[in-house]
Structure 1
Amino acid sequence: MPSTSSEEIPPAEPGALALPGRRAKGFLSWLDGFLSEELRRAPLEEFGRSRVLAGASLSLVLISGLITIAFILGGLSSYYVIAGVSAFAGYASALWSLRRVSSPRLPALLVSVFMAFTSMLTAFVANDTYLSAHAVMMLITSLTVYLLGPRLGLVTLVPMVLIVGVGHPFWRQRFGSEPPPLTHGYEWVMHVLAAICMFAGWAVGWLYSNAHATTHAALERDIKARKEAEAKLSELHRTLLDVSRQAGMSEVATGVLHNVGNAINSVNTSIGVVTDRLRGSRISKLVQATELLDQHAAELPAFLTTDPRGSMLPAYLGALSAQLVAERESLLTEMKALGESVEHIRSVVSMQQQHARYGGVVEQVTVPQLINDALRLSGGEFERLGIDVRREYAEVPPIEVDRHKLLQILLNLLSNARHALMDSTTPGKRLTIRVRPCAGGAQLRIEVEDNGVGIAPEYLTRMFSQGFTTKKTGHGFGLHISALAAQELHGRLSVVSAGPGQGATFTIELPLHGAQVSELMAPAS
């Protein structure tokens, strides 16, 4: 008795099983015991074909055995008995080989060849033309095409069709004789054979329907699992975008607060200077001189000429006037600095509002100006750290792009370069930003180059992978989201580095539209 399969058989479609569900599963598990381990673990389509082949082989073994017994009991010619025994042995060998092969191709070929050979041989030996049109021929046709496929099935079907359609009738008319009289035993054998073949055809159809239902159910589960995975991936992508946007907002907010904080410090300094100078102002001395004149108003000429205090008053007022003028100029200078600080605060806030307002909107952007804005939004960190920032901007036309996404990429690259330079021990820290057209003029290239810590060769291919970071406190999504944003802008983000300690260059390539390319390629006047 063959061993049963331990694998769970997926449920079939409603109506596909003619037996009760539990009994059907039990029968299929028993039938799977005729298959090798490789066939039981094969893909669903090949597994279903192997199961049909096992069922068909088992049915043909039973049919050939019963027919052989009927031939013996009916007293038919030994040719029939030999043919029946040969067919039984052939189908049994095919069933036996299913336990030892990794592909159902060879057992299927054995079954198809034995079915065709036995049917044709019986038709010739029996000298009966109606055997060529027996019900078993339909079983041979359906099984051959299903088990071997349309192309390889022709190897069996074409010779059989030629023999049925041409060979057997021609042989009977030329060399055969009248068919033997129809005995009762022969009649019973033919009718029983037809009935068994009909039942076998139903069984094979049931196995095929079950295999199809199993494959369909597995595909539906696979599609459902794939959709769930895609939904999770989409949700993760949205989460990453939100986190990146929040990180970008935090980066911008940090820059804004830093700039505003510096400006507020200047405002506080100017206010302190103005307050101190107002407190130490000579205005009180002028008030004292005025009071002294008021006290001697009645005798003012005598007071100014004969009184020692009065005679010194004109010179004192002149010196006091000069001091008050100097105080006024100093106060005006501080008020000017105070106004510039307030204007700087307004400019920073206005610039941030401008960039935040147009998220998701494609507009014409002057790239050098946007880079300068990104540097200012970085909070002046490069200047504070003593990093030499070099700007190499070629003459390029404005591009149509989502300002917010490009600004987010630039801020991420500037932050990445700043960390690389801060972690480097190389003297003369330098950041170079280049803007120039690509070869051919169809794209615009932005390069952010630093002479910082550099990137190891084994990390270059992973720099834009989600979650990958070389920083101790890094989160691993800044460059990944920047690469995705570049793709959404129909561009690309790449990186090159000569190795650790050799710095790195990140490059953004963005497409130029037709009018922009024409403007770029036009000769200078």
Structure 2
Amino acid sequence: MLTRLDACLSEPLRQGSPVELSRGRLLVGILGMLLLFNLLALFFYVGRSPDPLRTGVVQFTCLVIFLATLWRLRRASSIRVPAWILSFLVTAAISVESWKAGTQAVAVNTMAMLVPMLTVYLLGVRWGLFFTLLAAANMGLVHPYLFPPPGGLALNLFSALFVLCGWLVSWMFLASRDEADAALEQALRTLRESEEQLVSLVDSTDDPVCSLDTVGRILTLNQAGAELCRQLFGGEPLPGTSLFDALSPGQRALWKERAQRTLAGERVRVQQGLTLEGRPRVMDINLNPILGADRRPVGMTLFGRDITALKEAEARLGETHRNLLDVSRHAGMAEVANGILHNVGNTLNSVNVSAGLLAQRLRNLRVSGLTRASEMLREHAQDLGAFFSRDPRGQQLPQYLELLSRHLSEEKEGLLAETQMLDQNVEHIKAVVAMQQAHARVTGMVEQVSVPQLLDDALRLHAASFERVGIQVRTDYAARLPLVMVDRYKLLQIVINLLSNARHALLNSHRPDKHLSLRVERSPGDRLRIQVADNGVGILPENLPRIFTQGFTTKEDGHGFGLHISALSAEELGGTLLCMSAGPGQGATFTIELPVNGGEPRN
């Protein structure tokens, strides 16, 4: 109902003080009721009246005046003139009706109480007294003079007194309401002062601060935010306009999606890369919901902070930390290599001794005597019986062969023992090497890594090439991401390879709005999902199953190793590397999923 009443008021009246707004609503309501009664009189009373023509003219004239007064309210900045017209019409109508009827009952009708109640509220105490005195004078003096009542003036005078009492009561009510209005005005003034202090405090900060309504229109914007908008968009947005209108279509859709997540109750934090005054900057932007009395979002706040210096300091600190890790790793590798060389060297000494003994004992084997014995047997193959019975050499040959076989058996046992010792030493060397290989596969310098920071490092390596060819980079990192136990260098190499492939896909697409996005979020199963998406040339559906196959490539100068090695590295980190594409010209999205606490690496 209030909405329909407000629709009949002008914008200044709707935006005015609460008191003026309530007066305007009352005025519209009374005019509406009078119009209704006027229409009923035109349709049902004029034809039955003693003088239809005069009654119809009067009713039509009133109808025109009421409609004109409503029309005036749609364009007036104050209700003063319409209220005065209405008060005059009501007072005149009551008086004229009493003269027309000419009876005391009509003259003292309770309708006269409308005059003080209506006029005091709409016009104030003085004008209310003026119209009340007119109604009371008509009731107590004019009407009895024109139409002397048969029962005397008492009833007329008492009725006039009651009308004046009605004005007095209305005055008291108005005075008490004015007191309340003064208290309300003081409260509003205090609220405005507090608001001005808050605005001054917000303006004093160097960080951009902005408040938005539920559809993204600007409510407040501090000086730092206005300056940032001037640098980005070439002008300061006006209050009431949408903050997202100046963005490109892709950025506008992205920020509207983030705004919807914020209005759903989520606190959204993103790091946005910008170019201000020709220099790359990094802004940390927080979107927080503004909750109403029923704990439902009624808007949102946007806080920005330039963290370029912090990012550079973090990069330098991270580089120093990685250098220390490299030095530590090389020192550990040297120590491990020294231990391996020491163990293998000692074992090689034993191997050399065993090999020397084997060579010496093999040289000392009495194989030549066995050869001579076989030659003698071959020479006397025709008369072996005579050779063994009469020839002295034949008679000694069996005893010689017995001694020779005993000697060869002893040498065999010795050689087998020495060979077993040599085999044990070789197995020891193999065990030392295998143990080192196993340690090299498992450890791989696993450390706690902040994935957003690692992605920023990878982007920094490609920043110049991206900017040179006009590729817009977007990052969307979920809030409160955990650290991941992973081999930093393997993961960095995977991301760098994916960024390089995305750059080639965007260069070959010839699109004017080249953009690349990196997204990090938690996924089910205590895992972390990293997505690298572009709007480049896309991938044919028949090529998707072979994209990670060794040697497969669609580049003219490609070798087909990068994605294959990246997929293998992801498996070694305990994760997976997947690819999705809607087809040619639709871009591609590569997804890396890693265990948060570090998975069991795969060989």
TM-score (norm 1): 0.31
TM-score (norm 2): 0.27
Higher strand share: 2
Does 1 or 2 have the higher relative contact order (CA < 8 Å, sep 6+)? 1
